[in-house]
Structure 1
């Protein structure tokens, strides 16, 4: 008996850019399901910069594999469960993510996911809205939840991108006052997802504005990596016990040097004085349960910039690379013998 197949977008080269090398394989093998995994019939995926940044970077593709399927974030229906899985049932809707799954992503009709990287989709939440919650929701939760308590003031650098949009909402769900940054056209957008105060980085010096408020912030979350001296200056606006969490950074040699300096240079030699963490998100069933609960309560909602059809996936990545998306870019996936959920 032949193994089951599926439609999938794949690529074997990034010459000229990843999206220019994408092609549809109508007979790609379905993923093999391990005992502690769930096979999800994907209905929609949301794009992330990491989908292409790793393979377009210095890492040779031959060291990663061939027939690579991009995509980390998804929403869909449980098709099968592994022998050790009892918390998810066939037929229920879920959202989730695949951390670092470069060779076996989710821009396909099916994807196999570890049990601790899934959340249950609440009734009334659209598949497209939840598709982008996985990586950014998990990242935002792990950046914020361990480091704040209700009533704290939080600074989020970069509020209008995918990570920022979820970070603002998670901080508000945790009972915090949120100050964020964005460009002039996105000020009202950031306020609409919960930001209490917005700093326009196009017209305002971020560090001077934050420092003028005094040492009032319990936490700073940097989704951008700019200005480059933000961490070194953070002792002027962070409480002495306050923490600086790095989430995003420019993908360049200067960005790598910046992170190295932030992590290794002591304060008395010109480095930052507050606690610093370069966040690497980790699988967490508890985090996904909380994200699902906040969705159910209406405290966390997906913000979709645009939705592309299956055949338009390369154009979706082109738009992602412009850096102008407000919220998530979503691609719909054609279903296998089923009608899409309304």
Structure 2
């Protein structure tokens, strides 16, 4: 089969098309003929450092990056009960771990997939995986109707799903975005969009119940200032704060947490239902052909993506 492989650490130019063996499946797995792949910063950043690649993939080379897929099942393991050959499925495969998603065929545990809704394309399904799971796993069970939430970077992959999910949960949604993306974030459910070039969110927001942060650094530090007493913040990055911010956390009795998304068929089925009823809709910023994986990575690295980058096979 064809796959995009990485022989050594480096930039997008190190990604290249190769012929590799088709994976065999375990009893609890299915083999998916991949039609679409979603890219994430988690795919793109590790390739630059051997240390990071070794931590995530071991020292064996080449490696096949990626986790997010949508496609059609071609083989079914003997212990699989929820799927059959011909089913269209989507999911984030083996995260954290090795997903081997940049390939024509992917071996995926049954427990990481859901059947695709009839009303979405392979591209839309692939987009609704790691980023959507991250937003769901942070927000589910933590947001109440009427809560005032702040979604940082609302036009990004995680952010644009988080806006829609928080809105579906009945929250009042504040978000940060550039002026050119204000119309987009409000169109998907944001009640208040703050142009971070023109305003400091910490100067205009108060009494926020919940903050979802994907940026870290000063944005994380300033986010604690807008939370009400007893408020909650979740970040996808390091939650370490400087001394003055920690003083605010202690004084206001805030809960500061970080989270690492994990593969889950249960959560994928929740997203399936939200796609079916229109609660969420992925925004596909650009689509690339499989052989154009390198420029697709370059596009993600620009950090200006509105929604998701998709690669099709």
On whether the aligned pair clears a TM of 0.5, the verdict is yes
Alignment of 1:236-275 (within 5 A): 236-247=225-236, 249=237, 259-261=239-241, 266-267=246-247, 273-275=253-255
1:293 aligns with 273
Of structures 1 and 2, the one scoring higher in RCO (CA 8 A, sep 6+) is 2
Aligned mates of 2:52, 2:170 — CA distance in 1: 44
- Aligned mate of 1:227, from 194, 218, 234: 218
Q: Distance in 2 between matches of 1:328 and 1:159?
A: 12
Q: Distance in 1 between matches of 2:154 and 2:185?
A: 6
Deviation per residue, 1:119-146 (Å, 9 max, x gap) = 2211121111111111111110111012
**CA–CA distance in structure 2, aligned partners of residues 54 and 154 of structure 1:** 31
Alpha-carbon distance, 1:319 to partner: 1.1
> Structure 1 residue 96 and structure 2 residue 88: aligned?
no
Show structure 2 runs of 5+ residues with no match.
none
1:34 partnered with 2:26: yes
Residues 58, 206 of structure 1: alpha-carbon distance in 2 compared, 3 angstrom cutoff:
farther
For 1:132, the equivalent position in structure 2 comes to 127
Counterpart of 1:115 (choices 87, 110, 119) is 110
Matched, 1:105 2:123: no
Give the Cα–Cα distance (whole angstroms) in 1 for the partners of residues 254 and 114 of structure 2: 34
Contact 1:47 1:317 in 2 (8 A): yes
State whether residues 12 and 61 of structure 1, in contact with CA within 8 Å, keep that contact through their aligned partners in structure 2. Answer: no
Instruction: Report the Cα offset of residue 232 of structure 1.
Output: 5.8
Change (3 A) 1:10 1:237: same
Separation in 1 of the partners of 2:2 and 2:17? 7
Distance 1:177 1:61 in 2: 40
Relative to 1, partners in 2 of residues 1:78 and 1:232: Cα closer, same or farther, differing over 3 Å?
Answer: same
Per-residue deviation at 1:13? Answer: 1.0
In structure 1, the partner of 2:46 is 54
- In the other structure, the counterpart of 1:282 is 262
Residue 198 of structure 2 is matched in structure 1 by: 203
- C-alpha change, 1:58 and 1:273, in structure 2 (3 Å) is farther
* Corresponding residue of 2:291: 311
Q: How many Å separate the matches in 1 of 2:84 and 2:252?
A: 48
Q: For 1:133-185, what per-residue CA distance to the aligned partner results, in whole angstroms no more than 9, with x for missing partners? A: 11111110111012112222211011011111111111112221211001111
Conserved? CA contact 2:147–2:209, under 8 Å: yes
Q: Could you say what secondary structure the match of 1:150 adopts?
A: coil
Q: Does 1:85 align with 2:80?
A: yes
Q: How many residues align?
A: 308
1:44 aligns with 2:30: no
Contact 2:8 2:62 in 1 (8 A): no
Instruction: Note the C-alpha offset of 1:201.
Output: 0.4
CA distance in 2, matches of 1:262, 1:148: 27
Aligned mates of 1:77, 1:10 — CA distance in 2 = 22
- Equivalent residue runs for 1:153-168 within 5 Å: 153-168=148-163
Deviation digits for residues 38-71 of structure 1, max 9, x if unmatched?
A: 2111001011111132232361656432121122
Q: Does the 8 A contact of 1:72 with 1:100 survive in 2?
A: no
TM-score (norm 2): 0.91
Q: In the alignment, which of 68, 80, 91 is matched to residue 73 of structure 1?
A: 68
Contact 1:232 1:262 in 2 (8 A): no
Shift of 1:20: 0.7
Q: CA deviation at 1:293?
A: 0.3
Q: CA deviation at 1:271?
A: 8.7
